Structure 1
């Protein structure tokens, strides 16, 4: 990991989502000013969708040149296209359909009724190939030697069991050291079949943000920041090449390890 993770604590989940949305806009504008393009990884779930709603409502959202943003996902439920439980479906409804995005720069993970049919391993390989194509303009050093673009921001919700993306404790995906995208079978929460980025792909990101709100996340936050190993505590294995930031509300921060530096927000 590069440096010590930052911890930013907000009063509640609403303020967390609002502040994270503002931070997201600033980070994307900075990336576009530097390179003309930004690559972002979206997350689903309660906190991820709350952030997308705040982005949609923000009067500042149009400071971003959305036509020059590549949108990726950290994981996906392997369900038919348009299924309401897919992260893509929810993200489109909350934000993406209202933006002037270049459709070629929106990269949903394959669906169960896609070109690979009901074969999540083939679908994972297809997404890995798409990432590798997008990575080609960058040098290996710029992308950490991994065949994915150097994400400017990769966001992940933290589950009560410490999972991030669809990297669940002890499942085979948390042991992957070479592949960038894998299929997950037997996930402990439905649906059991998913597709996910692996740790090597996540760690190419310049900035990794971990989102957690609610008292049901407090134990996971404590474990994730307490030095646990990524096999048992996947949230501990998600970190960025430049910055890693835990964005929390007070309930999720209730069990932070003693002595951990944090920044409090009203």
Structure 2
């Protein structure tokens, strides 16, 4: 059984519709795939319909954007939570609103130096999508400022850029608590991805574990080998689930579906732990 538990559609920062992601998963030989758009479950219904037709088992999920008190970005994957849970829903709505105002501020700064407008960005956003820097990057590509989304993130949109604006995001331990309260299974996404920016120290790991963290995504292209070794020790010490995933974004990133996989017994345990919603079997 081939299982990939981290993918994105154009409901967040992927480039393909949820149904197209399921079709790509089938073409890649996957048996089980999780749709984990940033701070949104809007793609679940389309993905479920397509998955059923294609013979793919769908794990409904979401990737919750978080930030520590000292400003380190953390992403927590939530599997099988209840999307109507009031606590989690309220926090996600707050984050989504903050993303919009942040994006508007960034575009205003960028427009002083580049031919980009808010309308240019809106043209890159699918209906109901969680807006973010990738949409600004796509707008910069569309108006000819940069050749690719990756080039935009490597330069103009880096966190060290004068155009960068931070946005509200919950503390990762709070997010873990809310996911658990919603019947979900929280897994720390690409925890040691140092090429993306600063990574958290042991204190944050332990705060998240104490809050109910279920697992860590170890087999991910952005985790260096030294980081993976650390995570394996941490997982063994605290009985955490170990997952592997692609973090697929369509053409938005080079990540390939199925390039990292999760063991069937780990998937079975996630299904046992998740009580907010169910796996949608082919």
Assess same fold via TM > 0.5: no
What is the TM-score when the length of structure 2 is the normalising length? 0.24
What is the TM-score when the length of structure 1 is the normalising length? 0.25
| Structure with greater helix share of residues | 2
